[in-house]
Each structure stands twice: as structure tokens, then as C-alpha cells.
Structure 1
């Protein structure tokens, strides 16, 4: 029986938009136990209950259903049909219509879209993903990662150069300065910051997306733990009400670097319902 990529992607869009992952749920449960501020603890409990209702009723975790982003990974000698990317795009459209997503695609030509002067499309499926990011992987087969990125974190994101001075501590200290400034303005805390460190702005942004796709709050590196601890010491708390839990964890992906005094860092403070993601794996046997 041929694999239906379109249906798989449709279901991935719905799952990413409606479901907390197991590590996310566990992180919230730990945060509730640790939180000393009664108001902030109440917010954490509500966010966990919101996730339970969203999953049970298959409704979005947030009214900002986000912009779909897709990462495709191909194993060595993995065959795929020429219409693979068309199937993925159709699956995203189907998922947004079924969910439904927020109808927020802007109509018009280049200038009209910038000025938002022609109104919005009523069809949620018109919220098309950016260009699909394609990469290789060591495993045989095909992986498709669907991520739904909301607008709040995008407003507070930062991609910039950092002079590392041959000390990784300087790099993360600078990135933490950005986070400490932006996360209180994010509003929708607790957050999970995602960082990509690369040679160019494109590479750093790509690595940030990969950090989101592969993150697991059960397994945090020493750098990720330090970032989380530093943010929790700010006492911003859930919904900026104050408290001991500002960040549930961190996601960091460091790529190849060039001989230079500069590193490019992309920082995105994922909000209290993110990262919203779902991954599909199709084995080589099924594809052949």
C-alpha cells in the first residue's frame, strides 16, 4: 500500500497544534512542584489543563495557531517521488483547514501585503509555510518535522553577531543579555528559549529550527541547564507574575564554525505552548 505523505503531514500539523509532548508535560509538572508564587503556580496549572483540553478535543493550544515550518531529512540513497514537496504543501493546507488554523494570510501584491491594505484571506490553508528546509541524515529513510511558530516569540527573537573572544562563556553571556531583556516583554511565559549558533544568519536560523525539532527537556546539556538556571533567577515567572519558574528548559544547536572572531547567534524565546512540533519517520523499505 503506497504511503500517503499528504495525510501524514495533515495529521502532523494537527498533532503539533493540539498536543503537548511527554517531556513538555513532565516539565510543567516539575515546575508546578517548584513554584513558590501562588499566582504563578495557578497559571502553570491552567496551562497544563489547557493542554489536556486541547489534546482531548483536538483544538489548538493557542488562538495564534502559528506559521507552519517544515524540515525534511533524507537518508543516504533514499528514493522519493518528484511530487514529495507538493504533497507536503497540500498536507499543511489540509491540516490548517481541518484544525482550523487562524485565517491570517495577507492578500495583495508585495506592497499591499506589507501594508496589509487588501485584507486577509478567509481560508486558513492560505497560511503557506516558508521554503521547506532540506537536509541529509545518517539514518535510512525520510523524516518530516512540522513546527508551528507563533508571532509573540518572533517579535522577541534576535539574530546577531557576537564577538566570542575565544570564550564560549562570552557568547552565551551576550545571548542571555538578549533573553533577559526580551522574555519579560514576551508575556506568555514560562518560555523555552531556542538558540542556533552558526557562521551566517541563514545557518544560525536553520540551527535554531533544528534545535526546536530535536529538543527533549528530559535531556539537557550543561549549557542548556545554565541558560535555564540563569533565566529562572530573574523571577519573571509565569505570565510575568513573578515566581521561580521563568524557563522550563532550553534548546541549543551549535553548527560548524569559521576561523573568525565572530559567531552568528539566532535566539528565539519559545512561548508557554511551544515548541509546537510533530515528526514523521518513514523507513526506507516503505519508500521503495
Structure 2
């Protein structure tokens, strides 16, 4: 049986790893970008980002000053049983990870309008920053996968969720999302960016699919429509940190969900920054068996 301590530690470790470590596909994407970038200033920026990532990994420093909002995804094996204690252990692990990192103190004091207006100031304790609502998926087997994504504020400012008329061509939807990303790239600042897109039937579903795109995305496996969006953004010539030239987007992640009979599709775009997606997964395996089922 898995214990609350195992779950708490896994959530803490996933947060710290997501905040401090480039995944292999990110490193590969930056090395490819260095080969494509034609500007000396742009190559210098890309090299600095890679050096920053190497120091962050070695020293366990945050990749960025904006340490981000934790988003937790639980993939629960069909032979794993969880209850409210497991979710509480996840919340405790997130708070511990934010304190250990440390995260930037960003939790706002007060309730309702006080939080909206930030009239009572901020908590000094990084651990007071609550994670976004937990997303849960069911998977085969007896493993519990805990993924943490750290989402910074800049990309949220540049994001968009709107309806797009498809006009009986899926390409129209994809290219409209690509136009949004291209328009926002110059205002993001921390390029090269990563357009992350979910397409669904409702605003809630589109946003959930956008998070799923960030969960599943891999720079080394880009489908033709992800490549098309990347091309559209790179044609802007914004370049690394807005200095101009070749590499404005490292890649794109797109997740298309179910569709209903309608003339519109709901598209949710997050224009990820040069460190996105900050993502890490810790996998726990439950070896215990009770009547054929594993328990947490």
C-alpha cells in the first residue's frame, strides 16, 4: 500500500523538479533552435537559456523568477484506490515543495473582493500559494502518476479562449489559433515561446484540453499542425527575447477533443514562455494487493 508520506514526497519532488529542470526534449529543442537561429544576438540568448537551465538543475534553483502556479495532474491506476487523504497529502507536498524551492511568495491575503483588489497584501510564506484544482485521469495498472506543471503569469496575460468558426475545414481552426499566437508573440517578451492549444466543445473543456496538451507535449514529436503553428509564429521574426530573426517559437502542442454538431469550435491558447512547459512526473507503484485491488 502507498502511504500518505509517499504521496506527499512525490508531489514535493515533482514540483521541485518541474521548477528547476529542463526535460531532455526541451534541451533537444534548444539545441536545434541554435542550429536554426541566424542572428548572433539570438544565438547568444538561446545559449544563455541553456546555461541558466544547467545551473538551475545543478543548484536546484528555480528556472525563472516567476516560479509559477502549481497545476497537479493525477493519473490513477485502475487497481489503485484513493480517498480524500491522498488529495490532502498532495496539497501538503505542494506546500512543502514551494517552501523548499523556494517559490516566489504570491498568495494574496483576504477573501473575495479583498483578494481581487489585493488590498490586504501578500503572505510571506511561499507555501500559502494554493495549487489550481487537481485534474484526475484513470489509467490501467497499479501506478499513481503525479505530474506538476508550474504555470507563470506572463503567458496567462497573453492567453485567449474564444470560439472559432470552422467553415467545414479543420485547417481554419488551427490557423486561427496560429494567428492568435503570432499576434501575441511580440508582446510576450520571454521568447522563444511555446503555443499550447486545446480545442473542445465548451470553454471548460478547451481549457482542460490545453492542460492535457501541456501534459503530453514533446518537442521531439511534432505533428503537421503543430509544425504549421510553429512556422506561423516564427514567420513574425520576433526572435529570442524579442531581438528579432529566426526562432520565435520552439514548437507547439495541440490537443483536439470531442466535437459537437455546430459551426464553431472553442479554442483555448496559452502562449508558453521560453521555460515552458515546466513539467515533471513522479510515478509511485503500489505492490500491495487486497482482493485483486491496490489501495492508497
TM-score normalised per structure 2: 0.94
- Deviation of 1:277 (Å): 0.6
The match for 1:155 is: 157
Gaps of 5+ in 1: none
The match for 1:184 is: 186
Q: Aligned to 1:136, which of 131, 135, 138?
A: 138
The match for 1:127 is: 129
The match for 2:118 is: 116
2:182 and 2:36 mapped to 1: Cα distance? 21
- Deviation of 1:81 (Å): 4.2
- 1:130-158 deviation per Cα after TM superposition (whole angstroms, max 9, x unaligned): 21111223454322210000000000000
Q: Aligned to 2:104, which of 102, 105, 120?
A: 102
- Deviation of 1:285 (Å): 2.7
The match for 2:55 is: 53
2:234 and 2:8 mapped to 1: Cα distance? 41
- Deviation of 1:73 (Å): 1.9
3-state SS in 2 of match to 1:135:
strand
1:259 and 1:81 mapped to 2: Cα distance? 37
- Deviation of 1:232 (Å): 1.2
The match for 1:266 is: 268
1:131 and 1:40 mapped to 2: Cα distance? 37
The match for 2:172 is: 170
2:148 and 2:141 mapped to 1: Cα distance? 19
1:77 and 1:12 mapped to 2: Cα distance? 22
Instruction: Tell me the number of residue pairs that the alignment of Structure 1 and Structure 2 aligns.
Output: 288
TM-score normalised per structure 1: 0.97
> What is the CA RMSD across the aligned residues, in angstroms?
1.3
Q: Aligned to 2:219, which of 214, 217, 232?
A: 217
The match for 2:254 is: 252
Contact 2:175 2:229 in 1 (8 A): no
3-state SS in 2 of match to 1:32:
helix
1:236 and 1:74 mapped to 2: Cα distance? 41
Contact 2:164 2:265 in 1 (8 A): yes
